[in-house]
Amino acid sequence: MIHLGSIRGTTIGVDFSFLILIAFFVFSNYDANAGIQYALLWIPVVFISVLIHELAHAAMIGLFGYGPSEIVLGGMGGVTMNRRRAKPWHDVVISLAGPVSSIALAYLLVILYWRVPFLQTDRMMVALMPILVWANKAWGIFNLIPVSPLDGGHATRDLLRMFLKEPTAFTISVWIAFIGGAAAVAYFIYGTLYLAALLIAWYVYMNYQQWQYFRNHGTPGD
């Protein structure tokens, strides 16, 4: 684990798996005709996109009064950990803060691009900005898929917990994950986004394991 520092008590660390994730994006986007420098742009893109997303979760946790958190950037993106017993609606807002921040950052970058001449004339920025915008839009929307452990899955379960008992909320959220996840897998396969399809399929399987645990033990799995 590489410790990057802390912001108002919230620590930020980088797991070795995150370096593998970055390397994957660099090598998968390498084009011999364009040169390695363009593939290397994915290093700041992945780091900035994931970090801002997780910082939004941590900021909302802090605003609700649950204290500092621990952010770990890892192979699946990132995770913000905080030992809290929050109200369900607090958890809904905390979960949605990440995707909202990613999409908001994408649109902010678009505005800056058209209003700051430097961003339209500097060769590196001209190449970087479209990738950064696309990555944040995609990361925000992807995280809204209602499949745990994505933010959309957590938000769905916590939203149901506002009106239903925990076992019922869990049951409905798992079945939403099955249906929504299957639709997402089909969509990604149709769009030849096989890695995204594989990742969602794995998450659906994780939800199935939680469902099996619930059926055997009578309590929701996490």
Q: Within this chain, do residues 22 and 125 fall inside the same structural domain, yes or no? A: yes
Q: Within this chain, do residues 134 and 180 fall inside the same structural domain, yes or no? A: no
Q: Within this chain, do residues 139 and 155 fall inside the same structural domain, yes or no? A: no
Token output for 79: 């995770």
pLDDT at 34 over 90: no
Average pLDDT (117-121) is 88
The answer to whether the beta carbons of residues 101 and 56 sit under 8 Å apart is yes
Confidence bin at 221 (pLDDT 50/70/90): low
Confidence bin at 208 (pLDDT 50/70/90): very high
The answer to whether the beta carbons of residues 89 and 29 sit under 8 Å apart is no
Average pLDDT (121-143) is 93
Average pLDDT (193-204) is 94
Own/partner long-range contacts of 84-90 (Cβ < 8 Å, ≥24 apart): 88/158, 88/159, 88/161, 88/162, 89/158, 89/162, 90/64
Q: Within this chain, do residues 56 and 123 fall inside the same structural domain, yes or no? A: yes
Q: Which domain does 185 fall in, by range?
A: 146-222
Q: Within this chain, do residues 167 and 58 fall inside the same structural domain, yes or no? A: no
pLDDT of residue 30: 81
pLDDT at 5 over 80: yes
Please, is 66 exposed, middle or buried when counting C-beta atoms within 10 Å of its C-beta (0-12, 13-18, 19+)? middle
- Alpha helices by DSSP H, listed for 122-193, are 123-143, 151-161, 166-190
Q: Within this chain, do residues 35 and 99 fall inside the same structural domain, yes or no? A: yes
Q: Within this chain, do residues 134 and 182 fall inside the same structural domain, yes or no? A: no
Q: What angle do CA 151, 153, 159 make, to 5 degrees?
A: 100
Q: Which of 119, 144, 169 is the last residue of a domain?
A: 144
Q: Which of 125, 144, 163 is the last residue of a domain?
A: 144
Q: Within this chain, do residues 73 and 86 fall inside the same structural domain, yes or no? A: yes
Q: Within this chain, do residues 10 and 43 fall inside the same structural domain, yes or no? A: yes
> What digits encode the pLDDT tens for the residues 159-196?
999 999 989 999 999 999 999 999 999 999 999 999 89
Average pLDDT (204-213) is 92
Q: What is the mean pLDDT of the chain?
A: 92
> What digits encode the pLDDT tens for the residues 73-117?
998 889 999 888 888 999 999 999 999 999 999 999 999 999 998
pLDDT at 35 over 80: no
pLDDT of residue 32: 76
Q: Within this chain, do residues 154 and 140 fall inside the same structural domain, yes or no? A: no
pLDDT of residue 96: 97
pLDDT of residue 15: 93
Q: Which of 85, 118, 144 is the last residue of a domain?
A: 144
Q: Within this chain, do residues 140 and 155 fall inside the same structural domain, yes or no? A: no
Give the type of residue at 157.
Answer: R
DSSP conformation class of 154: H
Q: Within this chain, do residues 158 and 206 fall inside the same structural domain, yes or no? A: yes
First to last CA, the chain: 24
3-class DSSP state of 72: strand
Domain count within the chain: 2
The answer to whether the beta carbons of residues 186 and 195 sit under 8 Å apart is no
Q: Which residues pair with residue 13 across a beta bridge?
A: 3, 72
Q: Which residues pair with residue 3 across a beta bridge?
A: 13
User: What is the share, in percent, of the chain residues with pLDDT greater than 90?
Assistant: 75
**Which residue from 190, 194, 78, 82 is spatially nearest to 143, judged by alpha carbons?**
78
Average pLDDT (192-221) is 88
3-class DSSP state of 198: helix
Q: How far is CA 149 from CA 123, 143, 212, in A?
A: 38, 9, 16
pLDDT of residue 73: 95
